[in-house]
């Protein structure tokens, strides 16, 4: 693994005055940590990502990274100081082989850009350490003593900061009993020449309630909302046995008929899958999982839904909400709707309040009214990066 991202998420974040650490707060419908992780996971030049966490926050971490588990290395426990946490992360990464570069990044900076990440990696071809930051645009003064400085000689440090892996690991071990406020400072102490990459101005660190407000505005600027619509119909056929069930939203519903289908016939998940695909501008479910392919004979429809969700995640997208309407005379679904909501939320790593499942009849009209089948419509709203 040539290039590794080490994300620092073990802080308490008390200045933001929230009930949970700032990295687990949400901007839109995604946690700050998840937004940060997506920037590195979706960068093709980053080979792996590891997060350093506070062990007391493990449940929060698991909740924030649902759906990303297979794209992350196992988390590692942080230390008393940020410096200790970085060292723990580096020592843990050292158990892996062939790491050339490591990018160390604050979890509370969700707005770094692909360009900055790529530029840091490119600059590491020339330097053992690369800092990022933004130039000072205001007049720079000191209080004690009163003085004005040439702002061209200063910049405000950001992350990610990039390093030759073995170099920064050795420095953290060497200076473990001294205190530094960032990792580049260890290189300066050692006399190592540091390269520089201009960061993006939006790459703020979420630190105060005002930062959260500004972060919300950045989200509006950087993401677009897309809406998708899906629709599917399946007809009934005789049940195979008297204990028959049909699947709706991955929930087993007892019924005296079965659904005619090539897969497991979960007409609701098919509609939701098409809604997500449509919102992304992708083709329909049949193009990915053709009913003529025996591979998908009796296949679990959660496979189809998870594929659509994977495509969305790969684009850096976020689901805002999903709205499902199931139209059938029978079976009656009143007692199953909550289970369906919870199941969809579980499959897509969402909160229950982001899902609506409604059951309707067709007032005895049409093929549904004649109890010949079920129709389902689904709508979804998603957020995608503007440059996806």
Segment 176-230, tens digit of pLDDT: 999 999 999 999 999 999 999 999 999 999 988 888 888 888 888 888 999 999 9
Residue 86: which of 206, 207, 173 has the closest Cα? 173
What is the SS3 assignment for 351?
coil
Using pLDDT thresholds of 50, 70 and 90, give the confidence band for residue 43: very high
Segment 264-274, tens digit of pLDDT: 889 999 999 99
Identify the bridge partners of residue 131 per DSSP, sorted by sequence position: 196
Angle at 131 between CA 217 and CA 177, to 5 degrees: 110
Portion of the chain with pLDDT greater than 90, in percent: 70
What is the per-residue pLDDT for 17?
Answer: 52
What's the rounded Cα separation, in Å, for the pair 221 and 237?
50
In contact, 186 and 128? CB cutoff 8 Å: no
What is the per-residue pLDDT for 1?
Answer: 62
CA 166 vs CA 5, 22, 120: distances in Å: 14, 31, 17
Residue 188: which of 163, 160, 158 has the closest Cα? 163
Q: What is the mean pLDDT of residues 17-22?
A: 73
Extract the tokens encoding 204.
């703020």
What is the per-residue pLDDT for 204?
Answer: 92
Going by the DSSP 8-state scheme, the letter that residue 295 receives in this structure is G
Q: Provide the sign of the torsion angle of the four alpha carbons 246, 248, 253, 255, taken in this order.
A: negative
Extract the tokens encoding 77.
């426990």
What's the rounded Cα separation, in Å, for the pair 15 and 29?
22
In contact, 69 and 37? CB cutoff 8 Å: no
What is the SS3 assignment for 244?
coil
Angle at 341 between CA 337 and CA 346, to 5 degrees: 145
Domains of the chain by residue range: 2-207, 224-385
Examine the pLDDT at 127 and tell me if it is beyond 80: yes
CATH for 2-207 is 3.90.550.10
Extract the tokens encoding 64.
């924030």
Segment 296-336, tens digit of pLDDT: 887 899 999 999 999 998 888 999 999 999 999 999 999 99
What's the rounded Cα separation, in Å, for the pair 156 and 138?
12
Other CB atoms within 10 Å distance of the CB of residue 329: 18
Examine the pLDDT at 277 and tell me if it is beyond 60: yes
- Weakest-pLDDT range from 63-72, 121-130, 342-351: 63-72
Other CB atoms within 10 Å distance of the CB of residue 153: 8
CA-based end-to-end distance of the chain: 25
Examine the pLDDT at 53 and tell me if it is beyond 70: yes
HEC secondary structure over 152-213: HHCEEEEEEEEEEHHHHHHHHHHCCCCCCCCCHHHHHHHCCCEEEEECCCCCCCCCCHHHHH
Q: What is the mean pLDDT of residues 362-376?
A: 90
Q: What is the mean pLDDT of residues 118-127?
A: 97
Angle at 366 between CA 365 and CA 369, to 5 degrees: 55
Examine the pLDDT at 172 and tell me if it is beyond 60: yes
In contact, 110 and 35? CB cutoff 8 Å: yes
Please report which helix (H) or strand (E) contains residue 131, including its range.
Answer: strand 129-135
What is the per-residue pLDDT for 312?
Answer: 93
Kindly report the average pLDDT of the chain as a whole number.
Answer: 92
What's the rounded Cα separation, in Å, for the pair 66 and 126?
37
Using pLDDT thresholds of 50, 70 and 90, give the confidence band for residue 15: low
Fold of 224-385: 60s Ribosomal Protein L30; Chain: A; (3.30.1330)
């Amino acid at each position: 693994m040539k290039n590794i991202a080490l994300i620092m998420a073990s802080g308490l974040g008390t200045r933001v005055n929230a009930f949970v650490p700032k990295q687990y707060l949400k901007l839109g419908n995604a946690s700050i940590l998840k937004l940060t992780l997506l920037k590195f996971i979706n960068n093709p030049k980053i080979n792996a990502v590891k997060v350093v966490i506070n062990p007391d926050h493990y449940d929060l971490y698991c909740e924030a990274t649902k759906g990303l588990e297979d794209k992350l290395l196992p988390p590692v426990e942080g230390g008393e100081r940020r410096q200790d946490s970085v060292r723990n992360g580096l020592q843990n990464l050292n158990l892996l082989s062939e790491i050339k570069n490591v990018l160390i990044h604050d979890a509370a900076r969700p707005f770094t850009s692909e360009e900055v990440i790529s530029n840091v990696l490119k600059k590491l071809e020339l330097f053992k350490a690369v800092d990022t930051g933004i130039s000072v645009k205001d007049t720079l003064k000191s209080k004690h003593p009163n003085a004005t400085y040439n702002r061209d000689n200063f910049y405000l440090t950001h992350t990610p900061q990039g390093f030759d892996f073995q170099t920064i690991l050795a420095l953290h071990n060497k200076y473990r009993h001294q205190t530094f406020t960032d990792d580049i400072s260890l290189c300066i102490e050692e006399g190592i020449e540091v390269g520089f990459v201009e960061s993006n101005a939006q790459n703020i660190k979420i630190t105060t309630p005002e930062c959260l407000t500004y972060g919300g505005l950045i989200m509006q600027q950087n993401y677009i909302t897309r809406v998708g619509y899906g629709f599917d119909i399946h007809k009934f056929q005789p049940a195979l046995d008297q204990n028959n069930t049909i699947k709706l939203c991955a929930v087993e519903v007892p019924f005296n008929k079965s659904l005619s289908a090539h897969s497991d016939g979960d007409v609701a998940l098919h509609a939701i899958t098409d809604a997500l695909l449509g919102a992304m501008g992708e083709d329909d479910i049949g193009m990915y999982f053709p009913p003529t392919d025996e591979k998908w004979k009796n296949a679990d429809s959660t496979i189809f839904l998870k594929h659509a969700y994977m495509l969305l995640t790969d684009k850096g997208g976020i689901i805002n909400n999903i709205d499902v309407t199931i139209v059938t005379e029978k079976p009656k679904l009143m007692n199953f709707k909550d289970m369906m909501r919870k199941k969809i939320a579980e499959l897509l790593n969402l909160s229950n309040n982001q899902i609506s499942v409604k059951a309707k009849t067709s007032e005895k009209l049409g093929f549904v009214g004649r109890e010949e089948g079920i129709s389902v419509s689904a709508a979804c709203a998603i957020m995608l990066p503007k440059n996806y």
